[in-house]
């Protein structure tokens, strides 16, 4: 019992997160190379050498940081990624934690991520990190709202707040077709909450790395790992909510799930490399004036579809 209820789920989550985060780094490196960035070595080795270098680098101090929060924030972000992935079903039976409110739990992971990212920037007690923290908070709320409406949209046809039920409800038709606005909006949320690519406003280059600008050594490694892990967890949520999770012919369910997660990751990383970083003010306007109303439309669409179909 202990094996099936405790060890297996924990091993599954940790395994997918670690391998997934590594693949995110490799994939990102490969995409960068493919579109013409100069490459030093092989994409498979680059994340490992970078990690090894960060492990040998000393962790620095700033003047009077909030030590507890500063050191805990990367670990907490990683923990949130693990919690997020823990509610993602890999097959009808292989679900790390089959909570009946798993969709809501994913929403709280997004909300708590805001707190953790803010703390990471605020506790360093330096200017650029602080600006990054403020920026994320100012935008985080709009990501959470969009995500909430989009996720209620997928919960409607499933008549459940459970990811496994959401997947089951897509047996006839995947949500990506049934609710065409849902996946694009949710991908925006994903880029936002991992502050990746065009929505990297918390750790951006105009802030010399933002919340991570004053971090070095192992804490920075954990932070980078946590961001990649959160991207993996997000791809799991997106694949279950919109791409039919484990559903698919010929191959076993978990394989389908992993393939779909990889597809979501590839799309996100490609966007990250091709689109410039949005100006924060433009981003706020887009979120509240374009994407949030679109998420209302998505919800109404989902409701009407669930009612009439």
Contacts of other proteins in 160-219 (CB under 8 A): 160-161, 197-198, 200-201, 204-209, 213-217
According to CB under 8 A, which one of 108, 173, 294, 306 is a site residue for other proteins?
108
Q: Would you say 11 or 290 has its CB closer to other proteins?
A: 290
Pull the structure tokens for residue 212.
């991570």
Distances 289 to 181, 182, 197, 279, 282 between C-alpha atoms, Å: 16, 17, 21, 15, 10
Around Cβ 273, how many Cβ atoms within 10 Å?
Answer: 13
Judged by beta carbon, residue 107 or residue 303, the one nearer other proteins is 107
Is 293 a residue that touches other proteins (CB under 8 A)?
yes
Interface residue with other proteins, options 251, 274, 300, 304 (CB under 8 A): 274
Task: Compose the 215-244 pattern: x for residues touching other proteins by CB under 8 A, - for all others.
Answer: xxx--x------------------------
The binding track of 116-135 with respect to other proteins, each residue x by CB under 8 A or -, is --xx--x--x-xx-xx--xx
| Shortest distance (Å) from residue 117 CB to other proteins | 10
What's the CA gap between 81 and 89, in Å, rounded?
15
The single residue listed with the structure tokens 């079903």 is: 89
Alpha-carbon span 231 to 103, nearest angstrom: 17
User: Using an 8 Å Cβ cutoff, are 295 and 150 in contact?
Assistant: yes
| CB 305 to other proteins: min, Å | 20
Distance CA 163, CA 174 (A): 14
Contact between 41 and 250 under an 8 Å Cβ cutoff? The reply is: no
Site string for other proteins, 66-105 (x = CB under 8 A): x--x-----------------------------xxx--xx
- In whole angstroms, give the CA distance from residue 129 to residue 121: 5
The two tokens of residue 86 are 């823990």
Token digits for 172? 């006839």
114 lies in the site for other proteins, by CB under 8 A: yes
Based on CB atoms, which residue is closest to other proteins, 288 or 301?
Answer: 288
* Tokens 């909006």 belong to residue: 185
Footprint (CB under 8 A) of other proteins, residues 19-58? 32, 35-41, 45-46, 48-50, 52-53, 55-58
Which segment (20-28, 176-184, 233-241, 275-283) binds other proteins by CB under 8 A? Answer: 275-283
């Amino acid at each position: 019992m202990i094996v099936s209820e405790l060890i297996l789920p924990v091993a599954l989550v940790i395994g997918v997160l670690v391998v997934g985060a590594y693949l995110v780094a490799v994939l990102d490196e490969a995409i960068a190379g493919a579109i013409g960035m100069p490459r030093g070595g092989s994409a498979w080795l680059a994340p490992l050498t970078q990690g090894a270098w960060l492990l040998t680098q000393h962790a620095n101090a700033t003047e009077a940081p909030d030590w507890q929060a500063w050191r805990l924030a990367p670990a907490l972000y990683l923990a949130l990624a693990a919690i997020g992935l823990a509610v993602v079903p890999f097959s009808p039976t292989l679900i790390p934690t089959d909570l009946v409110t798993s969709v809501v739990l994913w929403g709280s992971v997004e909300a708590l991520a805001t707190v953790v990212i803010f703390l990471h920037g605020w506790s360093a007690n330096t200017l650029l990190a602080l600006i990054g923290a403020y920026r994320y908070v100012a935008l985080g709320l709009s990501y959470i709202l969009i995500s909430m409406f989009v996720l209620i949209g997928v919960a409607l046809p499933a008549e459940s707040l459970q990811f496994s039920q959401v997947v089951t409800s897509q047996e006839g038709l995947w949500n990506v077709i049934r609710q065409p606005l849902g996946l694009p909006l949710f991908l925006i949320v994903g880029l936002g909450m991992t502050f990746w690519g065009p929505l990297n406003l918390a750790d951006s280059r105009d802030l010399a790395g933002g919340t991570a600008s004053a971090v070095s050594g192992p804490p920075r490694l954990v932070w980078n790992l946590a961001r990649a892990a959160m991207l993996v967890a997000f791809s799991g949520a997106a694949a279950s909510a919109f791409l039919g999770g484990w559903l698919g012919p010929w191959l076993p369910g978990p394989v389908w799930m992993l393939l779909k997660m990889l597809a979501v990751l590839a799309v996100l990383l490609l966007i990250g490399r091709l689109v410039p970083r949005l100006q924060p003010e433009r981003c706020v306007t887009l979120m509240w004036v374009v994407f949030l109303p679109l998420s209302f439309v998505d919800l109404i669409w989902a409701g009407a579809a669930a009612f009439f179909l």
